[in-house]
Amino acid sequence: MPKLHSWFSRLLGLFRKKNGEAEMAEEIRQHLEGLIDRHIADGMSPGDARNAALKEFGGVEQIKEAARDERVWLSADQLWQDLRFGVRMLWRNPSFSFLAILCLTLGIGTNAAVFSWIEGILFHPYPLVEHEERMFALTGTTRGATNIGLSYPDYLDFQKNCTLIDSFIVDRIVGTTLSIGDRAERASGGLVSANYFDALGMRPILGRGFNPEEGTGRNAHPVTVISYEMWQNRYIGDPGIIGKTQYFNGVQHTIIGVAPEKFYGTFVGYAFQFWVPTSMQETFDSTGYKLEDRGDRWVEGYVFLKPGVSAQQAQDEISAVAKRLESDYPATDRGHGIQLLPLWKTPFNGAAAIFPTLGIALAVVVFVLLIACANVSNLLLVRSLLRRQEMTVRLALGAGRGRLVQQLFTEGLILAAIATAGGIAVAHWCRNALVLAFPTPAPGIIINYPGAIDWRVLALSAGVCVISTLFFAVVPAIQASKVDLVGALKTESGGVVGGHGRSRLRSGLVLLQVSLSFVLLAGAGLLLQSLQRIQNASPGFATRDVITAGIDLFSAGYKLDRAKTFKDQLLERVRSLSGIESVAIARVRPFSYSNYSNATIAADGYQAAPDQLPTADYVEVSEGYFATIGIPILFGREFTRNDDENAPPVAIVNETMAARYWPGKNPIDQRLQVKDKWMQVVGVAKLSNYRTKLEPPKPFFYVPMRQHPFVNCGLIIRTRLTPGAMMTVLAQEIHALDPNIVPVDTITMQEQVDRMSYSQRLAVTLLTVFGGMALFLAAIGLYAVMSYAVSQGTRELGLRMALGAGAADLLRLVMSRGLVLTAGGLVLGTAVALSLTRLMGSLLYQVSPRDPLAFGSAFVILTVVALAACFVPAWRATRINPVQALRS
Amino acid sequence: MAREKPELVYGTLDMLILKSLQHEPRHGLEIADRIQQMSKEILHVEQGSLYPALYRLEARGWVKGEWDVSENNRKARYYKLTAAGRKQLLAETEHWSRITRGIDLVLSAS
């Protein structure tokens, strides 16, 4: 392809103009000097020789001008010509161009969007952090479980003893009621170590970060750094904000700094609005003071490695320190370690929750890209065949092969360029779309899943499309060059039935499309069924006729005594309302975002392995809890009003816990040790879900709230009232008790449960959208191929008609070819899907990866679409006028 | 200036340049000399008009220019025939001889 080379050299020539200019001048000067030398040698005087040479050469400037045209403008002109011609050709066939561009745009755009999510959420979550590449997430471990925190004293010891680590930072999410003037709102922020901003390399744009001493002392430093957004929204960008105060949880805090714009903290998924130092822990945690308790593991955080230190080296050192702590503090640290994880693997924030969904989305968009490429290739191939005669004529008229290739190449480039631009636009619009898919889990939390448009990935997806487009765009020219001119000019024949070389390629592409679409549809079907099962599955408690509400007494400044009185009065008042069956209080409501209590436990007669420290989650509940929420008590009894501080301590365990700690025994009246307190098991509750429906059965127990007092208050009400009506009544009752308190989040239990299945719903949405897209693309592909086959087989069809074939015969003939392709694609797709759906494991719920219903519906949908795509061309075939067809 | 010498037939300069480079690379002045010499002084090339043609041929990838030093120690750009140029020369030679044969036939018909 000689012209291809010149095309590039010309393109380069456009940029090299300046350089070429000097070269040209030099070359001409040397030429003239040569002529002058020659004339002098012939005996002329230098002056005469120069004049003669100039005369002989011709007007230097005119010649330069002419040469310049050749070098630059002529080539630019030809490129321009190609571009114009390309655009004209695309314009002449708008439906083709539109489809091709649409397919490519969807393919490139969706890929770029999903890659940008992955980039933004998993790999580059904190773009403003200075040394993100040295930042690792920190998690406590025990018995292989990694979703626990560290205790604060342990954290300090690690910080002191690890030499390979630059800094340890604490970052624990806290919610608060924020009061500014007479307005009170919920807000979420981070309880962070004093070195937080320094370690991140983050300089507040106003004021300062925390001083080292602000991290120490119990509640000694009520200072806060607020986010740029809070500064703008709440304080309207007040430049004199530093030194002003605001109330968090009723405690006056001084604003000492404003974080830079677009800094949302270091918690994937949420945008934090403020930061306070760890010394203020007790103010923000309703479960008490923990800075000196080695057994209470609540610290979540990150480390920055020293430059040049590998994660493995740092991990080795940390593990060694952890071993020392285990032997120094066996009572609290036995069996506990800590582990460094890449940022995207941290179990504490939104990254972990969204990971499987992003994986599926990635697989799906790659499929869509493949389908789009196959589709455009197919369209181009079909068109190239339609243009074969044009190519042949142009060759016959003397156009160089290279010139044709160059022309088609340009056309392909135009297509790909427009589609890439469209793809970037799609990705840009979609980069923050993920936020829409997530419900706000609780008031005051701002969801933030930003995508970072990743140019590397954009270039990759665009590159794949451009290459495949160009390849298939150039094919016709290459083929045309092999064409025997005379033969090709005479007739361009093809059959509906027969197929050779090229049509096999086309069929292959259709096969690919159909099979990939099948995989996507089957996957979507599986997820849809999972979602349905999840929604239908019982969490083990009643979701109908149960309403929950949260009352934040802690941030209203209540202490234990006042909270107890308030709760007793509230229970009383609500119970006496009409339409209320029963009411109960729990510190943490099921499926809420708050953490359950966790404690080390021991049981009579249960021998733990020597290196293990059994722990279990538990919750403090009021009397009537089980009846209200609808968890059956299998043995024994439920808590009563009499299980108070004067009565012997009691607990109710769930089935799993009973089976693990007292296997084969009746657990009633057995003794359970929680921390250092022994209590008596009085009942066994049926297993239920505590956080999500997907969690495995785990030991869990309940303790009465009167023996384990707490401040905050989750209300659970069994009633036939609607949430709206309930909220009004509840607000009135609470107002009567304390006008400063309003219930937050009054919703049905069903709603509460649904909020936790968002990752399944998101996956279903993504797969449905992309699956639909794939189906659409596959239909276009099939339609294009069948239309082409019919248009090329016009003569054959005409002949068959002339020989007596009826419309029904033709219809059958054309359709059968399309359906054979479809059937092949379905078989292939089934095979691929069967091997791929196994990988969806974690997102499937009680659905077999080979579920016949999902596969069956994919089968039916694709068949129907294929029938429709084949029918139009087939129907057109029956309308052929046989006389005209034969004459043409 | 030898005006009595015939002008080149329009469009043949490119072919002549390619031919002049058939055996060895030459610079501009040498190309002009070579054409004159090959045509036994019948054809005369206007020196300056060589350059637009040379750049055109280079842009098409038929010749490739490289700076070198000439026999009398001057800097000069030497043009070399590329493989594509060789093919092009062959094609043009054939084309030309067909045309001239045709023209001859027409002119010699009685």
Tell me which amino acid residue A268 is: V
Q: What is the DSSP string of A652-717?
A: EEEHHHHHHHSTTS--TT-EEEETTEEEEEEEEEPP--SS-TTSPP--EEEEETTTS--S-EEEEE
Average pLDDT over residues A662-686: 91
Q: Give the chain B residue whose CA is nearest to the CA of A402.
A: B60
Please give the C-alpha separations between residue A421 and each of A163, A378, B36, in angstroms, as whole numbers. 50, 22, 55
CA dihedral A725, A729, A735, A738 (to 10 degrees): -110
pLDDT digits (tens, 9 = 90+) for A577-609: 888 999 999 999 998 877 788 888 888 888 877
Chain A residues with a Cβ under 8 Å from any Cβ in chain B: 2-3, 5-6, 9-10, 13, 23-24, 26-28, 30-31, 33-35, 37, 55-60, 62-64, 66-67, 69-71, 74-75
Tell me, yes or no, whether B38 lies in a domain: yes
Q: Determine the Cα–Cα distance for residues A209 and A784; give it in Å rounded to an integer.
A: 63
Confidence of residue A482 (pLDDT cuts 50, 70, 90): low
Percent of chain A with pLDDT over 70: 86
- Looking at the complex, report in whole angstroms how far the Cα of residue A412 sits from the nearest Cα belonging to chain B: 22
Helix, strand, coil percentages for chain A (3-state, nearest 5): 55, 15, 30
Q: Determine the Cα–Cα distance for residues A310 and A162; give it in Å rounded to an integer.
A: 14
Tell me, yes or no, whether B80 lies in a domain: yes
Tell me which amino acid residue A125 is: P
- What average pLDDT is seen over chain A? 81
At residue A499, the pLDDT reads 44
3-state secondary structure of B49: helix
Kindly report the CATH number assigned to the domain that includes residue B43. Answer: 1.10.10.10
Confidence of residue A636 (pLDDT cuts 50, 70, 90): very high
Q: Give the pTM.
A: 0.65
Q: Determine the Cα–Cα distance for residues A496 and A789; give it in Å rounded to an integer.
A: 5
- Determine how many CB atoms are found less than 10 A away from the CB of residue A98: 11
Interface list for B 91-110 with A (CB within 8 A) = none
Interface contact B70-A28, CB threshold 8 A: no
Which two tokens mark A800? Answer: 């068959």
Tell me, yes or no, whether B30 lies in a domain: yes
How far the first Cα of chain A sits from its last, in Å, is: 35
pLDDT digits (tens, 9 = 90+) for A462-476: 777 777 777 766 665
What element of type H or E holds A768?
A: helix A758-792
Confidence of residue A481 (pLDDT cuts 50, 70, 90): low
> Chains A and B: how many Cβ contacts under 8 Å?
81
Tell me, yes or no, whether B6 lies in a domain: no
pLDDT digits (tens, 9 = 90+) for A690-736: 988 878 888 999 999 999 998 888 999 999 888 888 888 888 888 88
Average pLDDT over residues A840-857: 81
pLDDT above 80 for A447 = no
Q: Which residues of B fall within a CB distance of 8 Å from A61?
A: none
Q: Count the residues in chain A.
A: 888
Interface contact A58-B49, CB threshold 8 A: yes
Q: Determine the Cα–Cα distance for residues A520 and A527; give it in Å rounded to an integer.
A: 11
Tell me, yes or no, whether B99 lies in a domain: yes
Q: Which residues of A fall within a CB distance of 8 Å from B69?
A: none
Q: Determine the Cα–Cα distance for residues A671 and A650; give it in Å rounded to an integer.
A: 9
Please give the C-alpha separations between residue A135 and each of A338, A788, B105, in angstroms, as whole numbers. 16, 57, 87
Beta carbons of B85 and A3 less than 8 angstroms apart: no
> Which residue from B1, B61, B75 is facing A55, i.e. has the nearest CB?
B1
Question: Can you point out the beta strands (E) in A143-235?
Answer: 145-148, 150-151, 165-180, 183-192, 206-207, 223-226
Q: Give the chain A residue whose CA is nearest to the CA of B87.
A: A2
The domain total for chain B is 1
Tell me, yes or no, whether B3 lies in a domain: no
ipTM confidence: 0.86
pLDDT above 60 for A684 = yes
Q: Determine the Cα–Cα distance for residues A679 and A686; give it in Å rounded to an integer.
A: 20
Q: Count the residues in chain B.
A: 110
Helix, strand, coil percentages for chain B (3-state, nearest 5): 55, 15, 35
Question: Can you point out the beta strands (E) in A493-624?
Answer: 546-551, 580-586, 597-603, 615-621
Tell me which amino acid residue A249 is: N
Interface contact B74-A71, CB threshold 8 A: no
Confidence of residue A492 (pLDDT cuts 50, 70, 90): very low
B76 touches chain A (CB under 8 A): yes
Beta carbons of A880 and A563 less than 8 angstroms apart: no
Tell me, yes or no, whether B8 lies in a domain: no
Q: How far is CA A573 from the centre of its chain?
A: 46
At residue B1, the pLDDT reads 39
Residues in chain B predicted with pLDDT less than 70, given as ranges, are: 1-10
pLDDT digits (tens, 9 = 90+) for A61-114: 777 777 766 655 445 556 777 778 778 877 877 777 887 888 888 888 888 888
Those residues whose C-beta lies under 8 Å from the C-beta of residue A476, and which sit 6 or more positions away, are A381, A383, A384, A385, A387, A388, A391, A408
> Which residue from A31, A58, A62 is facing B28, i.e. has the nearest CB?
A31
State the residue range of the domain holding B17.
Answer: 13-108
Q: Which residues of B fall within a CB distance of 8 Å from A26?
A: 75
- Determine how many CB atoms are found less than 10 A away from the CB of residue A261: 12
Q: Determine the Cα–Cα distance for residues A591 and A754; give it in Å rounded to an integer.
A: 9
Tell me, yes or no, whether B1 lies in a domain: no
Those residues whose C-beta lies under 8 Å from the C-beta of residue A410, and which sit 6 or more positions away, are A79, A82, A83, A85, A86
